[in-house]
């Protein structure tokens, strides 16, 4: 089956580009689409994302949209963190706004190669799970939800770190892959504190009215599987499924540059494709 791949770029209200891709099978269904949200220090071209998009488009016959959050730090070459100034000013709320713009554009038929859509499935990896979970709870256009290796809380800093963060106005996080020190502006902390109720993921999960699949590796080195367990315990039991992948890491064994799929990654993809195939049906 042929998978058609097109790219798009549009600008948010801050004038920053939101760059993305549409993956569409030759027999694509015309009634819904899947949208993928990357996580912290992630980007749409990282490792498994293009493969996952293509496989979901193939396995479900639904178009798949993946995109870069405008503040993720990746520049126009789509591969390198050349926009650390934007990374420093990024917030959780900005990412939610970017996701809404992508959904709005898809609904309006403004993404290349994609007819207007009314219903969406969301897949969020790691911190992208926050955007997916909150949007699924707030936006009635979302009818199915999947998270991979998702965080259950965003407050992951000590009081000492927060005090230093406020004093200096930024903290720096090492990107072990690139060796870059990546700045987080105090605006991120202020956004988290100002919107503490909106970003309380366990409470948000408890309000979900859409079918929710949680996929988490038992050997996740970045986000403990305990986070997946907390989300599963909070979400409505009758519409939630928690899938532990034994031995899987935070990225299900995938690396960047992509070296091919792993058994763990294909398991996560298969579970997700099955979920969307069932719950994106009208």
**CA torsion angle 187 188 189 193 (round to 10):** 100
CB 236 within 8 A of CB 133: no
Asked whether residue 109 is domain-assigned, the answer is yes
Nearest alpha carbon to residue 230 among 142, 147, 159, 137: 147
The mean per-residue pLDDT over the stretch 216-235 comes to: 98
- Mean pLDDT over the full length of the chain: 97
The mean per-residue pLDDT over the stretch 135-152 comes to: 98
Asked whether residue 173 is domain-assigned, the answer is no
* pLDDT band, very low/low/confident/very high, at 28 (cuts 50, 70, 90): confident
Where is 123: in which H helix or E strand? strand 119-125
The pLDDT value given to residue 270: 98
The pLDDT value given to residue 113: 87
Q: How far apart are the first and last CA of the chain?
A: 24
Give the domain CATH number at 128. Answer: 3.40.50.1820
Q: Each residue of 208-220: pLDDT tens digit? A: 999 999 999 999 9
Burial of residue 197 (CB within 10 Å: 0-12, 13-18, 19+) is exposed
Q: How far is CA 216 from CA 92, 244, 247, in A?
A: 22, 5, 10
Q: Each residue of 250-270: pLDDT tens digit? A: 999 999 999 999 999 999 999
Domain that holds residue 98: 3-154+197-279
Report the C-alpha gap between 223 and 127 in whole angstroms: 9
Structural domain total, the chain: 1
The pLDDT value given to residue 56: 98
Asked whether residue 183 is domain-assigned, the answer is no
Asked whether residue 179 is domain-assigned, the answer is no
Is 2 a residue whose pLDDT tops 90?
A: no
């Amino acid at each position: 089956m042929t998978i058609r791949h097109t790219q798009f770029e549009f600008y948010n209200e801050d004038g920053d580009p939101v760059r993305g891709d549409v993956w569409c099978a030759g027999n694509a269904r015309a009634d819904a689409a899947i949208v993928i949200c990357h996580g912290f220090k992630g980007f749409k071209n990282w490792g498994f994302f293009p493969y996952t998009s293509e496989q979901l488009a193939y396995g479900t016959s639904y178009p798949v949209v993946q995109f870069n959050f405008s503040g993720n730090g990746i520049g126009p070459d789509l591969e390198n963190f050349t926009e650390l100034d934007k990374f420093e000013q990024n917030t959780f709320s900005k990412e939610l706004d970017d996701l809404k713009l992508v959904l709005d554009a898809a609904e309006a038929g403004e993404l290349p190669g994609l007819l207007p859509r009314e219903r969406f499935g969301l897949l969020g990896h790691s911190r992208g799970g926050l955007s997916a979970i909150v949007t699924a709870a707030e936006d009635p256009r979302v009818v199915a939800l999947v998270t991979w290796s998702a965080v259950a809380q965003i407050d992951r800093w000590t009081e000492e770190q927060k005090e230093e963060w406020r004093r200096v106005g930024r903290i720096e996080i090492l990107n072990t892959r690139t060796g870059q020190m990546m700045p987080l502006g105090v605006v991120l902390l202020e956004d988290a504190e100002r919107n503490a109720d909106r970003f309380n993921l366990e409470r948000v999960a408890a309000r979900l009215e859409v079918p929710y699949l949680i996929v988490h590796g038992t050997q996740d080195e970045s986000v403990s599987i305990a986070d997946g367990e907390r989300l599963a315990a909070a979400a409505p039991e009758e519409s939630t499924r928690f899938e532990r992948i034994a031995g899987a890491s935070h990225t299900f064994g995938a690396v960047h540059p992509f070296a091919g799929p792993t058994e763990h990654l294909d398991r996560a993809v298969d579970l997700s494709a099955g979920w969307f195939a069932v719950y994106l049906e009208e």
